[in-house]
Amino acid sequence: MRITDTLSGEKVPLQPLAPDGVVRLYVCGVTPYSEAHVGHALHAIVFDVLRRYLEWRGFRVRHVQNFTDIDDKLIERANRLGVDMASLAGQNIESYLAQIKRMNVFPATEYPRVTAMVPQIIAFISGLIEKGFAYPSGGDVYYRVRRKGDYGKLSHRNIDDLLSGARIDPTELKDDPLDFALWKGAKPGEPAWDSPWGPGRPGWHIECSVMARETLGDQIDIHGGGADLVFPHHENEIAQTEAFTGKAPFAAIWMHNALLQLGAEKMSKSLGNLVTIDEALEQYGPDALRMFVLGSHYRSPSTYSDEALEAARAGAERLREAAFADDPAVTGRADAPSDSRERFIAAMDDDLNTPRALAVLFDLARDVNRGRAEGRDVSEPRALLRELAGVLGLTLAAAPAKAQEAAPFIDLLIAVRSDLRAGKQWALSDRIRDGLAELGVELKDGPEGTAWTAR
RNA sequence: GGCGCCGUGGCCAAGUGGCAAGGCAGAGCUCUGCAAAAGCUUCACCGCCGGUUCGAAUCCGGCCGGCGCCUCCA
């Protein structure tokens, strides 16, 4: 499998670095200061599909996703709400994990948190100081950006161009305006940990360097995250880690998903233009959300809209019908096996080309429907359809049967309607069908009776 | 200002040198008491201009339009 690597800009073959052959995947997770939105859902789904696919292909995967539960915004919001940072973070983490589950996203192998790694972070920073890559200053510790010549290599920036950006905080504590904080001395009202430099807390980027190293080692196979993290977060991470370990590359592949747009702009917490995961799930369900995400390549930005989600929902429904509708009596022979499996693999191997992979599923669905209509045995393509849908994390489950308790009554109405139909009482039988439709229950008359689905 | 991405049918979206995948929506037909579902058929010459080539959506140059990052952010 080949994956586009942000650092080199090329599609790079994935070959596990470690002798045990385990793929080490580190994904930058969320900062749990507020509810997650569908942009986070996209991110979670993309890496979930990567992991499912790799495992399906026989790789073992260690998938680590962090929670940055020490953070400026977290502190700010906790203070505003009058709660402590840990419980605010805990709450949001809990609801994120619940959403992940509802989206049929596999839980990561491990979810490290910054608050549980402070000693390791302090040790890491101390190491950087010893090696001359960092320096304490006024209770803070800063990373010396110009010490190594390759700063900027990930985001393809020239270090001197960054200065002209002029958005840099001109702190007198820094030797160079581009230097960034590894450790921030405590201010009043902030949670703090003891350190050799006085009470304080980790800066923003250091935690990922430490958590990745603690959980996966000095060098990893894939480091993932949203495209908005390339600079400065991942740029700083790669600098710190490679400075500390003296080994490169820190990650063989840097994989970044494009950001979700809402309307003309990216969806983001700071812009306030967002749709939460709960809202999307409530309205369209997990498969529709996933179909929407997989319908475009992970590196091209897509735009969230009701139209797009509705189309995705309809597509998921089509696959579901093909994969799970009851079979009529088989009268013909089975179809010859298709090359669908190979086409699916070829698509996914090529930088996780999920739109092409989905096209294979739709082709299979057509094969199944056609074979079924012609009375052939479709068990083989149907089994493959289910298998591949599973690799993409689609449940193809019927919409949650809200009408579960109403089922006996619906069945009764259907039975009455069948009698009416037998007596050609069309007006009455249609009234039942239309009435149920208004209640969200759809009837389908087939040769073997009437089936219903509730929405 | 610097770095980068994108512009394919009504909507969404693959395709990066050789007859333009797939989905949604639409139209016609089959099936159906009528529907629904399903099947079949149908629907594009790829932002504009120029160049390279036997041949370009696909390579090169220019232009127009949209977006991202450079600041907390998946």
> Which of A40-44, A127-131, A442-446 bottoms out in mean pLDDT, i.e. has the lowest?
A442-446
User: What confidence score (pLDDT) does residue A120 get?
Assistant: 97
Question: pLDDT tens for residues A175-197?
Answer: 888 899 999 999 988 999 999 99
pLDDT the model gives residue A212: 96
pLDDT at A166: 47
H/E segment holding residue A425: none
For position A164, what pLDDT does the model report? 57
Q: What is the mean pLDDT of chain A?
A: 90
On the question of pLDDT at A168 being above 80, the answer is: no
pLDDT band at A265; cut points 50, 70, 90:
low
pLDDT in the model for residue A399: 60
- A259: Cβ under 7 Å from strand B? yes
User: For A433-443, what is the mean pLDDT?
Assistant: 86
Nucleotide nearest to A316 (CA to C1'): B23
Higher pLDDT, A334 or A218: A218
CA A50 to C1' B66, whole Å: 30
Evaluate if the CB of A369 falls below 7 Å from strand B: yes
pLDDT of residue A329: 67
DSSP string, A343-391: HHHHHHHBT--HHHHHHHHHHHHHHHHHHHHTT-B-HHHHHHHHHHHHH
pLDDT of A149 over the 50 cut: yes
Mean pLDDT of A136-144: 93
Reported confidence tier of residue A173, pLDDT bands at 50, 70, 90? confident
**Would you say A51 and A97 are in contact if contact means Cβ atoms under 8 Å apart?**
no
Q: What is the structure's pLDDT at A453?
A: 79
**Strand order of the sheet with strand A61-65?**
A61-65, A23-27, A220-226, A251-257
Query: What is d(CA A228, CA A257) in angstroms, rounded to the nearest whole number?
Result: 9
Q: Which residue from A122, A243, A130 is spatially nearest to A184, judged by alpha carbons?
A: A122
Closest residue to B2 measured CA to C1′: A161
A100 compared with A328, residue with greater pLDDT: A100
The pLDDT score that the predictor gives to residue A407 is 85
User: Shortest CA–C1' contact from A47: which nucleotide?
Assistant: B74
Nearest nucleotide from residue A426 CA, by C1' atom: B33
How much is the pLDDT for A402?
60
At A386, is the pLDDT very low, low, confident or very high (cuts 50, 70, 90)?
very high
> What burial class does residue A339 get, using C-beta atoms within 10 Å of its C-beta: 0-12 exposed, 13-18 middle, 19+ buried?
exposed
Q: Is the CB of A11 under 7 A from strand B?
A: no
- In this prediction, residue A110 carries a pLDDT of 96
d(CA A100, CA A81): 26
Distance A38 CA to B37 C1' (A): 31
On strand B, nucleotides with any atom < 7 Å from a protein CB are 1-6, 11-15, 21-25, 32-40, 66-74
Distance CA A445 to C1' B53 in A:
59
Q: What is the pLDDT of residue A157?
A: 85
**What's the pLDDT score for residue A156?**
87
Distance A236 CA to B3 C1' (A): 17
Share of chain A above pLDDT 70, in %: 93
H helices, E strands: number in chain A = 15, 15
Residue A21 predicted with pLDDT over 60: yes
For A267, list phi and psi in degrees, rounded to 5.
-80, 130
CB neighbours of A236 closer than 8 A, spacing ≥ 6? A143, A180, A205
Q: What is the pLDDT of residue A274?
A: 81
Q: Are strands A140-143 and A180-185 parallel, antiparallel or unpaired?
A: antiparallel
Residue with tokens 């747009």: A261
Please give the average per-residue pLDDT across A378-407, as a whole number: 84
A86: left (phi over 0), alpha (psi -120 to 50) or beta: alpha
Q: How confident is the model at residue A165 (pLDDT cuts 50, 70, 90)?
A: very low
Interatomic CA–C1' length for residue A324 and nucleotide B10, angstroms: 31
Cβ neighbours of residue A330 closer than 8 Å, sequence gap 6 or more: A375, A376, A377
**pLDDT: is A172 or A151 the higher one?**
A151
Question: Are A62 and A1 spatial neighbours (Cβ–Cβ below 8 Å)?
Answer: no
Q: Provide the pLDDT for residue A325.
A: 78
Tell me: the pLDDT tens digits for A283-297? 899 999 999 999 999
- State which residues between 380 and 419 of chain A bring their CB within 7 Å of strand B: none
CB A313 within 8 A of CB A336: no
**Which tokens in the block code for residue A216?**
């996966």
- Please give the ipTM for the structure prediction: 0.93
Strand B-proximal residues of A, range 17-76, CB below 7 A, are: 28-31, 37, 39-40, 42-43, 68, 71-73
Q: What is the pLDDT averaged over residues A119-143?
A: 95
As a rounded value in angstroms, the CA-to-C1' distance for A371 and B68 is 46
Tell me what pLDDT residue A269 has: 65
Res A406: pLDDT? 82
Residue A239 class from Cβ within 10 Å (0-12 exposed, 13-18 middle, 19+ buried)? buried
Question: In angstroms, how far is B73 C1' from A453 CA?
Answer: 40
pLDDT tens string A205-240: 999 999 999 999 999 999 999 999 998 999 999 999
Q: Which amino acid is at A83?
A: V
**Chain A 144-173, CB < 7 Å to strand B:** 155-158, 161-162, 164-165, 167-168
Nearest residue, CA→C1' of B66: A264
Kindly report the backbone phi and psi dihedral angles of residue A451, in degrees, each rounded to the nearest multiple of 5, phi listed first: -105, 155
| Distance CA A8 to C1' B59 in A | 21
Spatial distance between the Cα atoms of A310 and A264, rounded to a whole number of angstroms: 19
Q: CA A363 → C1' B38, Å?
A: 14
Global pTM reads 0.93
Residues 208-237 of A with CB under 7 A from strand B: 225-233
Least confident of A38-42, A343-347, A450-454: A450-454
Higher pLDDT, A264 or A311: A311
